[in-house]
Amino acid sequence: MITLTVNRKVRALDVEGDMPLLWALRDVLDLTGTKYGCGVGSCGACTVLIDGRAVRSCTMPVSAATDQAITTIEGLADQGRLHPVQQAWIDAQAPQCGYCQSGQIMAAVALLGHTPQPSDEEIDAAMTNICRCGAYQEIRTAIHRAART
């Protein structure tokens, strides 16, 4: 048994320790907002927060996530109210196809957690997730909007 704290809830999972955190979240806990993209940590579709840091969950063994606070896209909203980054995403019309958006949002939340007023250069350096639609300008706009809230 592996015990995780996911979205402020303690969960016990009967899984192998080397299972990628992504699959524990999606297949065992049914938190499907975190997406599978590449499986090698390159694209960022699987990004979650671990103790506030953006982490690519497809390459992290579930055993490495114990004793840490894991937040998925499902855990960002607070009592039905969207997180400021989620609201900024909507206001800036950042999503296009939407596939990468949960990972992008999680990476943006982590960025704003340690750089509350990022410059364009800081956003570009921190936001390494891939967007096939090329919505990078809209993503940058959304991050600046969220920084103002």
H-assigned helices in 25-114:
84-91, 101-114
Domain CATH for 98: 1.10.150.120
Domain that holds residue 95: 84-148
Q: How many domains does the chain have?
A: 2
Distances (CA, A) of 28 to 2, 22, 49, 56, 125: 12, 10, 18, 18, 33
Written as tens digits, the pLDDT of the chain (149 aa) is: 999 999 999 999 999 999 999 999 999 999 999 999 999 999 999 999 999 999 999 999 999 999 999 999 999 999 999 999 999 999 999 988 889 999 999 999 999 999 999 999 999 999 999 999 999 999 999 999 999 98
Domain finish residue from 23, 56, 74: 74
> pLDDT, tens digit, for every residue of 15-51?
999 999 999 999 999 999 999 999 999 999 999 999 9
* Domain identity same for 69 and 99: no
- Residue-level pLDDT at 105: 98
